Amino acid sequence: MSFAVFLDVDGVLNSRTTCERTPDYHVGIDDLRVAVLAGAIKKYGPTEIVLSSDWKELRPEADDYVYLISKLAKYGLELAGKTTDHYNNRGEGIQYYLESHPEIDEYVVLDDNEFDFRDYPNIWERLLLTNGIERVKFASKTPAIEAILFMDYIKEVS
Ligand SMILES: [Mg+2]
């Protein structure tokens, strides 16, 4: 039994008003938002973070990837894995990941876009749509219990 957070980065750990830049001059990551993620995870319990963001396409040695890993590490977080997409079908990538990791029986998806998530009812009910992690809402009218809990924890710590 385990819990996973599928993590998008842009629009979750930053927003349009983020001033910080990555080493390669892309929009950076806000420490306060990583702190909110870490706080919610601490309340929820043992969590595997799976990178679903486009940042997963970076080479592990790329400066921006090292920057991401170090931002997470600053708050005691590390990545357990990453999804693989075809043509930006991010939901399909998450579904593949779940099928190959049957030990994950609870999960939420943090993302600022809907992509193809609606095609996967199990994912849709666990999708938390963000505009920066602290501004979070359910995608589904019938969210799963772990999505309800995780959103509560985000609100408690932000
Ligand atoms: Mg995004």
SS3 labels along 81-123: EECCCCCCCHHHHHHHHHHHCCCEEEEEEEECCCCCHHHCHHH
In terms of Cα–Cα distance, which of 56, 46, 59, 114 is closest to 85? 56
Instruction: Report the SS3 class of residue 5.
Output: strand
For 39-96, the pLDDT digits (tens) are 999 999 999 999 999 999 999 999 999 999 999 999 999 999 999 998 889 999 999 9
Mean pLDDT score across all residues of the chain = 97
Cα 42 to ligand 1 centroid, rounded to whole Å: 23
Q: Provide the residue type at 37 as one letter.
A: L
Cα 15 to ligand 1 centroid, rounded to whole Å: 9
Cα 117 to ligand 1 centroid, rounded to whole Å: 13
Cα 113 to ligand 1 centroid, rounded to whole Å: 6
Averaged over 105-125, what is the pLDDT?
A: 98
Cα 9 to ligand 1 centroid, rounded to whole Å: 6
Ion ligand 1: residues, CB < 5 A: 8, 10-11, 112
pLDDT of residue 91: 98
pTM of the model: 0.97
Cα 54 to ligand 1 centroid, rounded to whole Å: 8
**Is 1's pLDDT higher than 80?**
no
Cα 12 to ligand 1 centroid, rounded to whole Å: 7
User: Mind listing the domains of the chain with CATH numbers?
Assistant: 2-157 (3.40.50)
Cα 85 to ligand 1 centroid, rounded to whole Å: 14
**Is 104's pLDDT higher than 80?**
yes
- Which residues have a Cβ under 8 Å from the Cβ of 10 and sit 6 or more positions away? 27, 53, 54, 55, 112
